[in-house]
Structure 1
Amino acid sequence: MSSPWRPWMQRALQLAALGSGRTSPNPLVGCVVLDAAGQLVGEGFHQRAGTPHAEVHALRQAGQRARGGTAVVTLEPCCHHGRTPPCTEALLRAGVARVVVAMRDPDPRVAGQGLAQLREAGVEVVEEVCEAEARTLNRGFLHRVEQGRPLGLLKWAMSLDGRTALPNGSSQWISGPDARAWVHRLRAQCDAVIVGGGTVRADNPLLTSRGQRTPEPLRVVISRSLDLPQQAQLWDQTLAPTLVVHGYDAPAAARFRLDALGVERLVLERCEPLELLEALGQRGCNQALWECGPELAAAALQQGCVQQVAAVLAPKLLGGTPARTPLGDLGFVDVNQAVPWPTTRLQQLGDDCLLELSL
């Protein structure tokens, strides 16, 4: 049986999505407040970490009309002091009679305690309204809290015959302008965009959302040996920050060159995808986008660092036996070892086709 609160929760979820790409390490949260008669009197969403939460925005808008009313929130209200005061206290001060939530917050500092606090104060609590939608919206946040590392997205563009570049390395542009605009939107939803040294050498990428997100996602280059060009768009950090990840045996001269450019470096023992994502998780990254070459992409898949794949298929035939493909060797010796990924979306992007898969 459908909950009578579902339409309001769907509105709260729409509001929550407005903060996409801007709230990490926090989740996306939306809230609507109804008065005692069930009329909408306030709404809000969490806009950025360190700023007021969704409940606070909605309650401020509602004012005294919230007393005796209902707060519909996409995530369990927090009950701990962080950079902002607890939302449970704000709800209690506002005098709401009921709180409707989509899902509990898995953060150990909350984890049901926020709802318990509300119930103990006599507030009616309704749970699990549009829970599946809420979990999908905050999949990155949930993955980081539960696994200790960001959700991994792997994206590539390829020709109809499965090529990502010609034998001579030429790859711009396989996809059309609509697909490239989609990539900029995708980056805006992520906290980090990851490439390897080979991509920097071959493509000299910019890796920004082209202004669709402020601040821009962290641009990450993983290179054990720091075999990187002295000049690259990524070294100019006026648009977006760059982090270079390397091993302990990277040459001192290459380290000094990056330091002189003001590029942040991170030394990792193994300098592998899983180790990198664990480090990004500690920095509060909820979602990371792999835009790398075939060998790094294969390593990321093998180490469980990819939960979603997005492949743009362009209606072009590039040919060439040694031409580059999206993935390196995954170690399969039998076709049946390749497990099918469930398709979540098929979309037209101008002349190109987008196929999205998700574990």
Structure 2
Amino acid sequence: MNQESQCKDQFYIQMCLHLAANGGRSVAPNPMVGSVIVHDGKVIGEGFHEQFGGPHAEVNALRSVTEQTVLKNSTLYVNLEPCCHQGKTPPCVDAIINAGIPRVVIGHVDPNPAVSGNGIETLRAHGIEVRSNILEAECIDLNKRFVTVHQKKRPYIILKWAQTNDGFIARTDFSSKWISCEESRQLTHQWRGEEQGILVGTNTALHDDPQLTVRHGNGISPLRIVLDRYHRLPLNLQLLSDGLETWIFSYTERTVPGHVRYVLLHQESKELDQMLRYLANNGISSLLVEGGSTLHRSFIDQNIWDEARIFVSPTEFQSGIRAATLTGLPFRERNVGPDKLREFVYSEITSNS
């Protein structure tokens, strides 16, 4: 393949990525997918996966083409391998084959075992030219939550906390309500709207009595999850009394309101592994872990995390409850109001091993 053709393929896959991002949380736990159809160097159709359970990107792109007869001489671009199994919608490969598309260009292979190369094989078996792994790294990054669920059998995990300049997340008596600034708190609410689940431990639930909802902006509030091993939480906490869905992971059961789901943990298995496997199996592809430091250390010590976002306030406490720590340098640091936001991605350097 010549360089000009390769550049064109990359250009149109980049278009697919921009389209795909429009799906956002609305498609979770499905991946974000965009598709573009090109005929004689012109885009004649485009679409993206708009809603979980709704038509996939390829189908929306095919439907958007005004002159269907030219599809037999067109190229379909899509950032993720077309599905080949019956799910909530029919297989996308069938729609592509029936439309007479002669060439398909794909960003990356679907990690879902139900697809995983089978979509490509089906297209090729019907005489369709297929080129794959175009801008593969960018395509994987867009759907890192989806990829993580299928490769690691757990949600994509983002650790988040705020700490003072001298490394504390709270005073010993928990009298410090806010450490981060207003701008940082608004950004946190934006992040909540981007993930499917939000997790805290018993101490955070007890001392902060949080709502764990999106109250700034228009995002969708995540599923609220608490690791409360021995049901220490009183029923008058907001998480247990406000009527919004909450999942509690515990070693024992108790009678709770109808909006609360208790999930039993087993003593013989690692609790984080049990919880994360359950979440992944029940459609939760991403998890924002907001605290506190004991819970954060559990994830860090077991090397079970993908990103960490740490707000550092100029305030100093001199003493108090220590924040968790990461080794290595952040991949990015920026100002958010008077705070510093340090962002880490998991690697062997930042792991505890």
Instruction: Establish whether TM, by shorter chain, passes 0.5.
Output: yes
Structure 1 partner of 2:279: 280
| Structure 2 residue 65 is matched with structure 1 residue 62 | yes
Maintained 8 Å contact 2:102/2:128: yes
Letter paired with 1:265: Y
Structure 2 partner of 1:8: 12
Unmatched 5+ stretches in structure 1: 329-337
Instruction: Go from structure 1 to structure 2 and tell me whether the alpha carbon gap of 1:269 and 1:43 turns closer, same or farther (over 3 Å shift).
Output: same
Alignment of 1:229-308 (within 5 A): 229-236=234-241, 238=243, 240-248=244-252, 255-256=254-255, 258=256, 260-270=257-267, 272-308=271-307
Identity value in percent: 35
Maintained 8 Å contact 1:19/1:45: yes
Tell me how far 1:93 sits from its aligned partner.
2.0
Correspondence for 1:44 among 44, 47, 51:
47
Letter paired with 2:336: L
Q: Hey, which bits of structure 1, 4+ residues long, moved more than 3 A?
A: 211-214
Tell me how far 1:150 sits from its aligned partner.
0.9
CA deviation profile, 1:32-90 (whole Å, cap 9, x unmatched): 122x2121122222223211111111111124154421211110000110110001111
Structure 2 partner of 1:116: 121
| Structure 2 residue 340 is matched with structure 1 residue 353 | yes
| Structure 2 residue 310 is matched with structure 1 residue 325 | no
Letter paired with 2:264: V
CA deviation profile, 1:287-340 (whole Å, cap 9, x unmatched): 1111111111111222232121111112222222xx112228xxxxxxxxx753
Between the aligned partners of 1:354 and 1:225, the Cα distance in structure 2 is 34
Maintained 8 Å contact 1:274/1:303: no
Letter paired with 2:300: L
Letter paired with 1:269: H
Alignment of 1:124-163 (within 5 A): 124-163=129-168
Correspondence for 1:213 among 219, 233, 238:
219
Maintained 8 Å contact 1:3/1:129: no
Segment drifting more, 229-238 vs 123-132: 229-238
Letter paired with 1:184: H
Maintained 8 Å contact 1:157/1:311: yes
SS in 1 for 2:65: helix
Cα RMSD after superposing both structures: 2.0
Instruction: Go from structure 1 to structure 2 and tell me whether the alpha carbon gap of 1:171 and 1:122 turns closer, same or farther (over 3 Å shift).
Output: farther
Tell me how far 1:196 sits from its aligned partner.
0.9
Tell me how far 1:164 sits from its aligned partner.
1.2
Segment drifting more, 146-155 vs 161-170: 161-170
Correspondence for 1:82 among 87, 97, 110:
87
Tell me how far 1:276 sits from its aligned partner.
0.7
Unmatched 5+ stretches in structure 2: 347-353
Between the aligned partners of 2:280 and 2:212, the Cα distance in structure 1 is 20
Segment drifting more, 300-309 vs 283-292: 300-309
Between the aligned partners of 1:213 and 1:94, the Cα distance in structure 2 is 37
Between the aligned partners of 1:174 and 1:282, the Cα distance in structure 2 is 35
CA deviation profile, 1:7-27 (whole Å, cap 9, x unmatched): 221121122122222323321
Letter paired with 2:11: P
Instruction: Go from structure 1 to structure 2 and tell me whether the alpha carbon gap of 1:152 and 1:273 turns closer, same or farther (over 3 Å shift).
Output: same
CA deviation profile, 1:228-271 (whole Å, cap 9, x unmatched): 02212212455x421111103x5xxxx11x1x353111111137
SS in 1 for 2:200: strand
Instruction: Provide the aligned length of Structure 1 versus Structure 2.
Output: 337
